[in-house]
Structure 1
Amino acid sequence: MPNERREGYGVEERARRMADFPLSAAAGAEVFQDYDRQFEEGLGLVLAGIRATYAMTYGKSS
């Protein structure tokens, strides 16, 4: 559910449990927060890929 976390999925708790893996622990803040921004960025990448493929295939630019 938006803005709700299931028990056991706190970013700080995850980082503490993964202390032996600092890069993975640090990634949690990026991966598990700000879903709306991540969705918009991902959608933008998908659309850019479609545009580029279309332009290469059909010689069109947008």
Structure 2
Amino acid sequence: MDQGTIGTIFTVVVFVVFVGVCLWAFSSRNKKSFDEAANLVFDDEEKKELNKKDQES
């Protein structure tokens, strides 16, 4: 096997892994956990607002 063949095989393997990761990320069974993770930033802001209101009282 020469260097060109090894490079081609590596490129195909990386492409197949990339497609697999994309399919996994966009599958419907993971959507709920990804949505929860995306909203974690906003949960932290709500806690800060509650702490500010408690300190003002």
TM-score range, shorter chain: 0.3 to 0.5
- Specify the structure having the higher radius of gyration (Cα): 2
TM-score normalised to structure 2 length: 0.44
Bigger proportion of residues as helix:
2
Structure with the larger RCO, 1 or 2 (CA within 8 Å, 6+ apart): 1
